[in-house]
């Protein structure tokens, strides 16, 4: 296809997403357990927006002409990488579909997409809409299967030219190893996190509590960039803990299809039990349980919004990715201290800073070793904003212009010039 034809297909796809928004949102909530309000009010519109963003890029991917030192014409071409293998997670199936498929198709690649075994439905549905929008057969292929079988086969396949994976750091290491053992295909990884959310002593405590609450509990806490280490300055610490406790106790847990519900069930029994093990670990290690700490109700995989105070950096709940509705609050006394402690982790996906001071915001945003730093906000995911991690939180970036680099090869073409009018 020409670049303009690819653009038109993606624009028609975005229109179809909006036309079928109710069905798509319902599928996402059935599949995942997130609230219908979140699926319909945020994620389906973000899916359409991301596709329009990359539709706009399709016919604006330009090469270069490079001046050489001799009589040569030098072109730099940007070509599709070929077949892109993509593996998406269960926590944001629609958004991860958009982040992966959008730039790959805009650049002219074919895609083999493996969905998470827990959440295959929404990706299959929207893929059918892409074909309705005019995508030729065979360009996008959705495979529903398990990681050790379908995922491993995709990573090892000699006919796959590039891999993109979003998921846990441990699985990301396996993906990288399989890619290296096969045809050394390039890999982009968006992996786990244990993101610090830093509340300075000049913060409006009420606003900071609400923002920190959202940073942890959004999507049942099943978010790779969740602000799950809440660092609070000692001058406002006690007030912050009490208000965080009250906010967690007010959070409405229940049927995600009901109006007013803020938190649905965890994805499955395995994740449910894992989160409760972390809660027990927090209690056993001496952290103060100030809210929640148990299952919510007597059926389903619902967990009470849980808040720990008096946590220490060496505790499991402050070091390891819980991926659940558990807030860990830690006390600090100064900027240098909190920078050192916030960076003392294998992860580096995201961070949050809440302060009225421009100097503090500038200092922290530059010192924190993280791919995204949100200042006085959190979880802002516009299509043009790059997203990815430092350290063991990943390799490469999703979204924005930076994602295009994942799906293009760069080729130099050098031709002699005879009797050149100019060089």
Catalytic entry in 18, 79, 117, 190: 190
Three-state DSSP string of the chain: CCHHHHHHHHHHHHHHHHHCHHHHHHHHHHHHCCCHHHHHHHHHHHHHHHHHHHHHHHCCCCCEEEECCCCEEEEEEEEECCEEEEECCCCCHHHHHHHHHHHHHHCCCEEEEEECCCCCHHHHHHHHHHHHCCCCCCCEEEEECCHHHHHHHHHHCCCCCEEEEECCHHHHHHHHHHHHHCCCCCEEEECCCCCEEEECCCCCHHHHHHHHHHHHHHHHHCCCCCCCEEEEECCCHHHHHHHHHHHHHHCCECCCCCCCCCECCCCCHHHHHHHHHHHHHHHHCCCEEEECCCECCCCCCCECCEEEECCCCCCHHHHCCCCCCEEEEEEECCHHHHHHHHHCCCCCCEEEEECCCHHHHHHHHHHCCCCEEEECCCCCCCCCCCECCCHHHEECCECCHHHHHHHEEEEEEEEECCCCCCC
Cβ atoms < 10 Å from Cβ of 260: 8
Q: Catalytic annotation on 23? A: no
Question: What residues are annotated to the active site?
Answer: 190
């Amino acid at each position: 296809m020409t670049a303009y034809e690819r653009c038109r297909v993606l624009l028609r796809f975005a229109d179809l997403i909006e036309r079928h928004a109710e069905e798509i949102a319902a599928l996402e909530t059935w599949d995942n357990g997130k609230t219908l309000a979140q699926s319909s009010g945020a994620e389906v519109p973000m899916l359409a927006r991301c596709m329009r963003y990359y539709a706009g890029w399709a016919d604006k991917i330009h090469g270069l002409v490079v001046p050489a030192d001799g009589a040569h014409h030098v072109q730099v071409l940007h070509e599709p990488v070929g077949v892109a293998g993509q593996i998406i997670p269960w926590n944001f199936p629609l958004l991860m579909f958009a982040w992966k498929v959008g730039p790959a198709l805009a650049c002219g690649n074919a895609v083999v997409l493996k969905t998470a075994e827990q959440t295959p439905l929404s990706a299959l549905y929207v893929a059918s809409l892409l074909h309705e929008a005019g995508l030729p057969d065979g360009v996008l292929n959705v495979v529903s299967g398990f990681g050790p079988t379908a995922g491993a086969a995709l990573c090892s396949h000699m006919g796959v030219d590039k891999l993109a994976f979003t998921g846990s750091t441990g699985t990301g290491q396996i993906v990288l190893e399989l890619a290296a053992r096969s045809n050394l295909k390039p890999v982009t990884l968006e992996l786990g996190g244990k993101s610090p959310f830093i509340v300075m002593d000049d913060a409006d405590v009420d606003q900071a509590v609400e923002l920190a609450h959202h940073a942890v509990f959004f999507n049942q806490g099943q978010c790779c960039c969740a602000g799950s280490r809440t660092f609070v300055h000692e001058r406002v610490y006690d007030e912050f803990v009490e208000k965080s406790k009250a906010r967690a106790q007010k959070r409405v847990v229940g049927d995600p299809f009901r109006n007013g519900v803020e938190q649905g069930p965890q994805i499955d029994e395995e994740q449910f039990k894992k989160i409760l093990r972390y809660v027990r670990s927090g209690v056993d290690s001496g952290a103060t349980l100030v809210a929640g700490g148990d299952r919510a109700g007597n059926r389903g995989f619902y967990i009470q919004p849980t808040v720990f105070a008096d946590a220490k950096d060496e505790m499991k709940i402050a070091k390891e990715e819980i991926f659940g509705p558990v807030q860990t609050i830690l006390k600090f006394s100064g900027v240098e201290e909190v920078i050192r402690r916030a960076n003392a982790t294998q992860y580096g996906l995201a961070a949050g800073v809440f302060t009225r001071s421009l100097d503090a915001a500038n200092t922290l945003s530059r010192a924190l070793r993280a791919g995204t730093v949100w200042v006085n906000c959190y979880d802002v995911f516009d299509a043009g904003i790059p997203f990815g991690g430092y350290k063991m939180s990943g390799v490469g970036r999703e979204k924005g212009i930076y994602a295009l680099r994942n799906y293009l090869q760069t080729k130099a073409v050098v031709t002699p010039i005879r009797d050149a009018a100019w060089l």
